[in-house]
Amino acid sequence: MSVTQQQVLEALAGVKSPRGVALTNANVLSPIAVSDGKVFFSINVDAAEARAWETVRAQAESVVRAIPGVASAMIALTAERKAGAPQPATRRQAPGQAPSHSPGHSPSHSHGVAPVAAHRPPPNPGGSPMARQSDIPGVAAVIAVASGKGGVGKSTTALNLALGLRDLGLRVGLLDADIYGPSVPRLTGIREKPELNDERKMIPIQRFGLAVMSIGFLVEEDTAMIWRGPMVMSAITQMLRDVAWGTLDVLVVDMPPGTGDAQLTLAQNVPLKGAVIVSTPQDLSLIDARRGLAMFTKVNVPVLGIVENMSYFQCPHCGTRSDIFGHGGARHEAERLGVPFLGEIPLHMAIRATSDSGNPVVASEPDGPHAAIYRAIGAKVRDQLKGATAAA
């Protein structure tokens, strides 16, 4: 029996909204997508009201799940930015990404996310990341790619690092946990929505030999999203545990930028075996990188190392290298902090163009110099992981 939108709307009409009217009359529902018994939609409310809507979202999910024939329901609570309101600091210009653009720095902590201080993450019973790692059956290691601030090339690095690890013969997955601005759909060119298996788990999309999952597959990429703290965890937890990852050696998680409460909660709750910090050579970014390091140390997640992205400028015409940002900062910082230095990635048009066209450089130019750099970083990460396992 196939489920219809009408059935979903009828079920939702029985849910009362905080505005006193039925949910279906509150003017907050996105179009409802129903396919093969899977129901996806979002409830879009004003950021200030979001807390009051959390229970409504949960109720909506349970009434939809109760409809005969519904295999799963994924209902997101999103807070849409009002026209004219300041842009949440999620999509940023990469520093110096093209000569005609001025470097864009925006401190990560200015993120347009409501404070989540009231939301205390559940305690981590095992205390150590090793105790947490077996949480996802079949996945041997979950690693985070993180940065202190946005726009440093974290997503680009996460995807190309995942491909580098794939090239070393590992089975690799990529989870885009940047629920504020998922960019993996764009970076991979994936447009389809995940299917469900018999156990009602979402099947990750296979692309470039990677198992890929992103919240962006479920909601539109350009919907401005401001998630409430508890929603952040439930969305990420669902993507980690309600996804049929299969057997993976490494699951690479592209973290949201910043080191705020939401990120800390995430770092604490995701069963991470280690973290890779991406930084640009600028001082500002290094200060942020230090903050990123401190965040992982706080939650007992080993830092596998630092990657310096946009490390030096490589002229696409003559190949000449210029250290326009005074490169080498991240290497020194890593040495100073006693953290492994994983490698330097140049600022290069090919990396930007391939990323932005959904054809990451390691996949599209496997024999080129950039792919070799990402593979070398991948090899160091793999060795760090081996070391972490041996030490456990």
Ligand X SMILES: Nc1ncnc2c1ncn2[C@@H]1O[C@H](COP(=O)(O)OP(=O)(O)OP(=O)(O)O)[C@@H](O)[C@H]1O
Contact positions toward ligand X, by CB under 6 A? Answer: 90-92, 94, 97, 147, 150-156, 178, 181, 183, 257, 309-310, 345, 347-348, 351-352, 355-356
For residue 183, state whether it binds Mg ion (rule: CB under 5 A). Answer: yes
> Is residue 288 a contact partner of residue 333, using CB atoms and an 8 Å limit?
no
Please tell me whether residue 280 adopts helix, strand or coil conformation.
Answer: coil
Closest to Mg ion by CB, 180 vs 341, is 180
- 273's CB contacts (< 8 A; 6+ apart) are 129, 130, 133, 141, 142, 143, 301, 302, 385, 388
Between residue 130 and residue 159, which ones bind Mg ion under the rule CB under 5 A?
154-155
Record the tokens describing residue 182, joined without a space: 């998922």
Closest to ligand X by CB, 201 vs 331, is 331
Residue 48 CB, nearest approach to Mg ion (Å): 27
User: H helices within the chain, ranges in order?
Assistant: 5-13, 50-65, 129-132, 154-167, 184-188, 229-241, 261-269, 283-298, 329-337, 349-356, 361-364, 369-391
For residue 355, state whether it binds Mg ion (rule: CB under 5 A). Answer: no
Q: Taking CB positions, which residue lies at the least distance from Mg ion?
A: 155
Closest to ligand X by CB, 244 vs 330, is 330
Residue 215 CB, nearest approach to Mg ion (Å): 12
Angle of CA points 119, 212, 77, to nearest 5°: 35
Residue 59 CB, nearest approach to ligand X (Å): 32
Instruction: Number of residues interacting with Mg ion: please give it, by CB under 5 A.
Output: 4
| CB neighbours of residue 68 within 10 Å | 8
Q: Choosing among Mg ion, ligand X, none, which partner's interface includes residue 356 (Cβ < 5 to 8 Å by kind)? A: ligand X
Q: Choosing among Mg ion, ligand X, none, which partner's interface includes residue 156 (Cβ < 5 to 8 Å by kind)? A: ligand X
Which residues on adjacent β-strands are paired with residue 34?
39
Residue 346 CB, nearest approach to Mg ion (Å): 19
| Positions in the binding site for Mg ion (CB under 5 A) | 154-155, 178, 183
